[in-house]
Amino acid sequence: MQHPKAWIAWSSGKDSAWALHVLQQSGDVEIVGLLTTITETFDRVSMHGVRETLLEAQAEALGLPLHRVSIPTPCSDEVYDAAMRTALEQARADRVTQVVFGDVSLCDVRAYREARLREVDMVARFPLWMRDTASLAQEMIGGGLRAFLTCIDPRKVPREIAGRAYDETLLASLPESIDPCGENGEFHTFVWDGPMFARPIDVRLGDTVERDGFLFSDLLPAGSHRQER
């Protein structure tokens, strides 16, 4: 039986990684690529602030081709939609019919994604949709997912958690008002190991800087001494 082909919207973080893992376990879809937006000014994953070199290391460890969508900063909705549509049209031409997202509970975001995909005759999938985030966080960590916080919103979470490992110790330290999966934009992550990877990605923590109201913790390939932004 031939399964439908899908790309996964890959943020470099825990939710997209776990969504990939869930579908790999289900076996009812063939994941054939990663779709990632790159902020071209910085050569980093949009919002997560992860270096493109580390994104490439993830793709290699996953054994999946990486499809980049370059966007400027700032980026208007019109420019973003046009860039994404070009990528999706290419996917459709390659007989990819689905895009997988790691979203859990934001209904407006889901509706937007579904509408954009319908325009190119594709379907959105949300394998983590409406999961209880407390149990989902424990499932990820217990399942072997390892990640660092790369971007936090200090207006929502304590500044001290910037760059921390995403683990049970972190979860226990979060105020009750904070979603354990960061579903309200409290934080974003970079996954360096997990059951979806053939091997871990060796990284070390660099500097933490504040930009546009957010704290970004730089991650570097282990052994690298580069500190440029």
pLDDT, tens digit, 9 for 90 and up, residues 40-51: 988 899 989 999
* Distances 67 to 35, 49, 56, 196 between C-alpha atoms, Å: 5, 17, 10, 18
Q: What is the mean pLDDT of the chain?
A: 95
Q: Which domains does the chain have, with CATH numbers?
A: 5-125 (3.40.50.620), 143-221 (no CATH)
Reduced 3-state DSSP string for 54-100: HHHHHHHHHCCCEEEEEECCCCCHHHHHHHHHHHHHHHHHCCEEEEE
- How do residues 79-116 score in pLDDT, each as one tens digit? 999 999 999 999 999 999 999 999 999 999 999 999 99
Distance of CA 211 to the CA centre of its chain: 20
* CA-based nearest residue to 151, from 181, 187, 123: 187
Percentage above 70 pLDDT, the chain: 97
Dig out the tokens for 81 from the structure.
């939609």
Report DSSP state, residue 161.
Answer: G
CB distance 166 to 120 below 8 Å:
no
pLDDT band at 223 (very low <50, low <70, confident <90, very high): low
Nearest one of 138, 137, 117, 134 to 126, comparing CA atoms: 117
DSSP state of 3: P
φ, ψ for residue 30, nearest 5 deg: -105, 110
Q: Residue 227: which pLDDT band, with cuts at 50, 70 and 90?
A: very low
> By three-state DSSP, how is residue 193 classified?
strand
Q: Which two tokens stand for residue 189?
A: 């992550």
In tens, the pLDDT along 191-204 reads 999 999 999 999 99
